[in-house]
Structure 1
């Protein structure tokens, strides 16, 4: 688990080191790890020449704006899934989904666990969406 200070130092180091050069494999792995640790997301690898630089700038912007790492979520939707609670106008994607919203949705629709790519370890799929250690 990386701290905010460690992440900021690594980003600063990579930004200073890279400049206009391309990323080496070790640097790419560092950016992927930073993306996962800071933004709680996986970096989508493409053939884009500048995707790693763009990702590093995105990480840096997040750290500057928030002065922290993104809180780790227990719930994550599968790619492309948009969630909307019945009777509500708000829609949710992985960008704005909170654990509270995901839990409310699964209480109402316990058979919909398949739309999530990440569930808490204490979530009991076989027990109508209840948590194993909660009553």
Structure 2
């Protein structure tokens, strides 16, 4: 027979922690995205609002590349402080990776300004690849 009181007690103690970790990850994601948008040498949101598909692809790659390491942090962390510390570290590392990809691999400003969809896909792929490597590093 299943002890429903045990299940309810587990839910009662677990759900608040899950919600706290999710809110923390969302806040770190939003902060990382805000910083990344502010660091960009052009108004990426205005480009997207103006119909620039390359800008949308580029920013989508950045968002997913920020989310993947944060998700890995949630999986590998032992508690709330762990989530906070490693979440901030992964966001910082990913922002550096994103900046490097946008300057060294394919010049992000040229891709977006020229509305180069092929270049934006390659840049988004580079950002996603770096995000996966960042996430994988947390598994150590």
In the superposition, the TM-score normalised over structure 2's length comes to: 0.29
- Larger RCO, structure (CA 8 Å, separation 6 or more): 2
Higher strand residue share: 1
Higher helix residue share: 2
